[in-house]
Homo-oligomer: A and B are copies of this chain.
């Protein structure tokens, strides 16, 4: 397998082409001031040896950067975040940069470790979906000239570029729609209120209720579901409540999917009829939402575009000479869409 374990260096290419290392270097970086026929010979040597410039060696030289962007995401397996990652990758690739991807599993300590590692690898910048509320590691990154862009969630007290969704507005519109459909008893399934999006979406939910003279009944509010299975369990509890809701607002796709799974299971078991189940609104669109057995609307947005926007903010700082520009906070609009 490794007939030739060592990778060739400029020096070997130079020897083979009968020139000095500098001529190889010059040829590889555009060929300014190198005779065409010499360039030709160099390129042949490069091809024959299968030479690739050592980017790590290049990056330690003054003025050069690694061309790496560190991306810390809470859960790559969630389609929302993987689509986000796609957007980042695409936009980064446009400038020849690569992404260093790390999964935090919603664990703040792991995120801090990751960021430290990223800094050690001399990333040009960081794109983070923060797992917690602590910002020391990110402020530290900034203080060393490595800009940080927050995505989806902001952190109080950290002055960093950010791209988030119109969480409050979306939740407000979704909840209002349910009220307009005649519902007065609306349940809530969401992620923890301690999470940026959790807090904002819940706030939008509550605001819509109170604007219509409705109050929140804690019996039909569940805010600690991080996974689909947890969401299923929480849904079961809502449905079994003394006064079950006639509609449920789900603060993200995990919770909406869990709700649909539970409803569908109970429907198949025949324990209740379809019309006995609550109508659903989901913050986040998701695949196959249209198969829902109950009426459903989604608060739609484009995670890929969110990834792109976050990356553009970062690149603008890096390449646009705006390292010290004022912090920019973007809030992407969302739209309510009836699915079924």
> Quick check: B257 and A288 within 8 Å, CB to CB?
yes
Which residues in B have their C-beta under 8 angstroms from that of A228?
287
Chain B residue nearest to A82 in the complex (CB): B82
Q: Mark A111-141, 1 if CB is under 8 A from B, else 0.
A: 0000011011110000000000000000010
Q: Which range contains the number of A residues in contact with the other chain?
A: 35 or more
Cα-based distance from A287 to B256 in the complex (angstroms): 12
> Quick check: A121 and B56 within 8 Å, CB to CB?
yes
Q: Mark A36-62, 1 if CB is under 8 A from B, else 0.
A: 000000000000001011111101100
Known contacts: A77-B304, A144-B7, A265-B290. The answer to whether A120 contacts B2 by CB under 8 A is: no
- Could you say which of A122, A265, A287, A340 has the most chain B C-beta atoms within 10 Å of its C-beta? A287
Chain B residue nearest to A304 in the complex (CB): B77
A314 CB to closest chain B CB (Å) equals 12
Which residues in B have their C-beta under 8 angstroms from that of A52?
116, 119-120
Q: Of the listed stretches A93-101, A197-205, A234-242, name the one at the interface; the rest are far from the partner chain.
A: A93-101
Q: Does A90 contact B (CB under 8 A)?
A: yes
Q: Does A273 contact B (CB under 8 A)?
A: no
Q: Does A156 contact B (CB under 8 A)?
A: no
> Quick check: B1 and A142 within 8 Å, CB to CB?
yes
The copy count of this chain in the complex is 2
> Quick check: B77 and A77 within 8 Å, CB to CB?
no
Chain A interfacial positions (CB closer than 8 Å to B): 1-7, 50, 52-57, 59-60, 66, 68, 75-79, 81-83, 85-86, 89-90, 93, 96, 98-103, 116-117, 119-122, 140, 142-145, 147, 159, 228, 257, 260-261, 264-265, 268, 286-288, 290-293, 304, 323-325, 327, 340
> Quick check: A143 and B89 within 8 Å, CB to CB?
no
> Quick check: B77 and A102 within 8 Å, CB to CB?
no
Q: Which of B89, B147, B268, B288 contacts A103 (CB 8 A)?
A: B89
